[in-house]
């Protein structure tokens, strides 16, 4: 019997690679995007696609209803992938900037989980896989809202895994480090909307360090950067297992962070993080 999965954030990057790969392997993939134009592009490529905006409860309910209408009320897996960042110093972040980011990176994904859980409970099985980050393990400068949202995702996902113990529903975290995606480009409008660099005490840092990195043209991958397929590989491993690991690390920096988190004091970990 063909298995089904709903994947969010499929307009590009990790979500798109996962959707295309699983489709080729015989999964019935519901690849969601926020924009109808992106959904149409995926449909033209042979995928099933639904509009889903994490910031809208109505959109989440509508997308899930459409998926269940097509599958007869079942769903084997959910991959929560959509997220974005706002580069900048924490003291320059308005409250609304944090609120908007958490709507997308945390509240929306868990509302979506709650929408699909009753069906998974009824069928007695399912995989819920949340895409976290190495920044859910350790914090880095200039990425406060993203750090915080991924730390929160880790906590809620761990809680959910405990609460669904012996339910037949597996809850998993995938924790990528540097992956070749458009996350920097996608962060630019949020940076421009929320961060007033001219009024910040860190104006020089924005001009000399943060902006050059954020707006740098695409070049060679970073030393430890991997393609999106590296995340898809771990996703496939989790989906294929009846006893998936709670966490799947992706990229060398994530493995290093996991080790350092266990072995180093906070002061030593800070010294490590300040080098990045």
pLDDT tens sequence across 177-225: 999 999 999 999 999 999 999 999 999 999 999 999 999 987 777 789 9
Distance CA 33, CA 8 (A): 6
Helical ranges in the chain per DSSP H: 13-24, 36-44, 57-71, 95-102, 108-123, 144-163, 183-194, 203-205, 211-214, 229-240, 252-263, 266-273
Active-site residue (options: 54, 142, 146, 249): 146
Q: What is the pLDDT confidence band of residue 1, given thresholds at 50, 70 and 90?
A: confident
How would you classify residue 4: left for phi > 0, otherwise alpha for psi between -120 and 50, otherwise beta? beta
Q: What is the mean pLDDT of the chain?
A: 96
Q: Is 172 within 8 Å of 245 (Cβ atoms)? A: yes
146 is a catalytic site residue: yes
Distance CA 255, CA 63 (A): 35
Q: Which of 73, 240, 225, 97 is nearest to 170 (CA)?
A: 240
List the beta bridge partners of residue 226. 179
Whole-number pLDDT of residue 104: 98
Please count the structural domains in the chain: 1
pLDDT at 9 over 90: yes
pLDDT at 82 over 90: yes
Q: What is the pLDDT confidence band of residue 275, given thresholds at 50, 70 and 90?
A: confident
Whole-number pLDDT of residue 273: 86
Enclosing domain of residue 257: 4-273
Distance CA 154, CA 95 (A): 22
Q: What is the domain-level CATH number for residue 143?
A: 3.40.50.720
**Looking up tokens 């449909």, which residue turns up?**
43
pTM given for the model: 0.95
pLDDT digits (tens, 9 = 90+) for 118-130: 999 999 999 999 9
């Amino acid at each position: 019997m063909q298995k089904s999965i709903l994947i969010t954030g499929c307009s590009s990057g990790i979500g798109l690679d996962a959707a295309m790969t699983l489709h080729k392997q015989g999964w019935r993939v519901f690849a969601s995007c926020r924009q109808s134009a992106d959904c149409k592009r995926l449909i033209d490529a042979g995928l099933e696609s639904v509009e889903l905006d994490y910031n809208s409860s109505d959109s989440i309910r509508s997308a899930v209803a459409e998926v269940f209408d097509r599958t007869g009320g079942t769903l084997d897996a959910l991959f929560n992938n959509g997220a974005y960042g706002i580069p900048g110093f924490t003291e320059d972040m308005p409250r609304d900037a944090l609120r908007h980011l958490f709507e997308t990176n945390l509240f929306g994904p868990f509302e979506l989980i709650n929408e699909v859980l009753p069906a998974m409970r009824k069928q007695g099985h399912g995989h819920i896989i949340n895409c976290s980050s190495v920044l859910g393990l350790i914090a880095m400068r200039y990425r406060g809202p993203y750090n915080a949202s991924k730390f929160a995702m880790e906590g809620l996902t761990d809680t959910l895994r405990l609460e669904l113990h012996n339910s037949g529903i597996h809850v998993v975290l995938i924790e990528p480090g540097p992956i070749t995606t458009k996350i920097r480009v996608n962060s630019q409008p949020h940076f421009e909307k929320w961060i007033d660099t001219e009024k910040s005490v860190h104006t020089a840092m924005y001009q000399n360090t943060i902006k050059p990195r954020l707006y740098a043209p695409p070049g060679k991958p970073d030393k430890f950067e991997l393609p999106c397929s590296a995340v898809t590989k771990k996703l496939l491993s989790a989906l294929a297992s009846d006893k998936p690991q709670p966490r799947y690390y992706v990229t060398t920096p994530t493995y290093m962070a996991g080790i350092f988190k266990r072995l180093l004091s906070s002061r030593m970990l800070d010294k490590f993080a300040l080098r990045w």
